[in-house]
Copies of this chain bind each other. A is one copy, B any other.
Amino acid sequence: MTEAFSLHPQLAADTVPVGDLPLVRVLLAKDANYPWLILVPRWPGLTEIIDLPDTEQTRLLGEVAAVSRALKAVTACDKLNVAAIGNVVAQLHVHVVARRRDDIAWPKPVWGAVPPVPYQPEARDALMTALRAALPFKS
For window 52-106 of A, CB contacts with B under 8 Å fall at 54, 57-58, 61-62, 64-65, 68-69, 72, 79-88, 90, 99, 106
- Cβ of A57 and Cβ of B68 under 8 Å apart? no
Known: A47-B79, A49-B68, A79-B47. A88 touches B111 (CB 8 A): no
Q: How many copies does the complex hold?
A: 2
Q: Tell me which residues across on chain B come within 8 A of A9, comparing CB atoms.
A: none
Contacts of A109 in B (CB 8 A): 83, 85, 87, 109, 111-112
Contacts A61-B61, A83-B85 given; does A111 touch B112 at CB 8 Å: no
Asked whether A126 is an interface residue with its Cβ less than 8 Å from the other chain, the reply is: no
What's the tally of chain A residues with a CB closer than 8 Å to chain B?
Answer: 32
Contacts of A88 in B (CB 8 A): 107
Check if B87 sits within 8 Å of A84, measured CB to CB.
no
Q: In the bound complex, how far is the Cα of B50 from the Cα of A65, in angstroms?
A: 6
Determine whether the beta carbon of A54 is less than 8 Å from that of B65: yes
- In the assembled complex, A138 has its CB within 8 A of some CB on chain B: no
A66 → chain B closest CB, angstroms: 9
Q: Once bound together, how far apart are the Cα atoms of A62 and B99, in whole Å?
A: 26
Q: Does A48 contact B (CB under 8 A)?
A: yes
